[in-house]
C-alpha cells in the first residue's frame, strides 16, 4: 500500500513538472500541446475512495491552471473526467470492472485504448470549451479538441507502455 502511495505521489509531481516545463512549451505545428498530466487520472488505482479522487483531480487541474493562466479550465476538465471515470471503465472493460478485477497494466489493448481515448476526448472538449468560452468559436473548439486529443493519446499510450511494469 505504501509503495502504491509513493508511486502515485511521484507520478503526480513528475507529470505536473513535465506538463508545465516541456509539454506546454512544445507548440507543435503552431499550438498543439499534449496534456499528458491526465495520465495520472487514467492510472489512478481503481476502486479507491471516490471523494478523495475527486479532490486530487481538482487540485491537479488547479495546479496546472496556476501555471498556464487558464483560470479554472483544467480543474473543471480533470474533475469531470474523474467523476465520470467509473462509467467509462464499465463501458470499456465490461464485466471485469464489475468484479473489481481490472488491472490497467495487464488489460488487453483494445479496451484500454477505448478507455484512454474516451477520457482524453471528454477532458479536452471541456478544457477547450472553457478556454475559448465563446459559442462563435465552436469550430476552433472542435478542431483543437480533435488535434490535441490525438496528440495526447499517442503520447499517453507511449508513456504508459514505456513505464508500465509487466508483472502479471
Q: Toward another protein, which CB reaches closer, 66 or 164?
A: 66
Q: Which residues of 16-47 are buried (b: 16+ CB within 10 A; e: fewer)?
A: bebbbeebbeeeeeeeebbbbbbbbbbbbebe
Contact map string, positions 42 to 81, toward another protein, x by CB under 8 A: --------xx--xx--x--xx--xxxxxxxxx-xx--xx-
Query: Which residues contact residue 8 at a Cβ distance below 8 angstroms, ignoring those fewer than 6 apart?
Result: 40, 44, 45
Q: Toward another protein, which CB reaches closer, 61 or 111?
A: 61
Q: Toward another protein, which CB reaches closer, 3 or 25?
A: 25
Element (H, E) at 114: helix 109-132
Give the binding range for another protein (CB under 8 A) out of 4-12, 29-37, 100-108, 151-159. 29-37
Say what angle helices 50-68 and 2-18 make with each other, to 10 degrees.
20
Q: Toward another protein, which CB reaches closer, 120 or 141?
A: 141
Q: How far is the CB of 5 from another protein (least distance, A)?
A: 21
Contact map string, positions 107 to 146, toward another protein, x by CB under 8 A: -----------------------xxxxx--x--x------
Q: Which grid coordinates are listed for 92? A: 470499456
Amino acid at each position: 500500500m505504501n509503495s502504491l502511495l509513493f508511486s502515485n505521489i511521484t507520478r503526480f509531481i513528475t507529470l505536473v513538472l513535465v506538463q508545465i516545463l516541456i509539454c506546454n512549451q512544445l507548440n507543435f505545428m503552431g499550438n498543439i500541446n499534449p496534456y499528458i498530466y491526465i495520465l495520472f487520472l487514467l492510472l489512478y488505482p481503481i476502486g479507491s475512495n471516490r471523494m478523495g479522487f475527486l479532490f486530487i483531480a481538482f487540485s491537479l487541474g488547479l495546479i496546472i491552471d496556476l501555471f498556464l493562466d487558464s483560470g479554472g479550465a483544467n480543474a473543471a476538465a480533470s474533475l469531470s473526467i474523474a467523476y465520470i471515470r467509473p462509467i467509462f471503465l464499465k463501458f470499456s472493460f465490461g464485466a471485469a470492472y464489475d468484479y473489481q478485477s481490472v488491472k490497467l497494466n495487464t488489460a488487453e489493448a483494445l479496451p484500454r485504448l477505448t478507455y484512454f481515448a474516451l477520457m482524453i476526448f471528454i477532458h479536452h472538449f471541456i478544457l477547450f470549451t472553457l478556454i475559448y468560452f465563446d459559442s462563435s468559436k465552436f469550430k476552433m473548439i472542435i478542431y483543437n479538441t480533435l488535434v490535441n486529443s490525438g496528440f495526447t493519446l499517442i503520447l499517453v499510450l507511449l508513456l504508459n507502455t514505456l513505464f508500465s511494469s509487466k508483472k502479471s
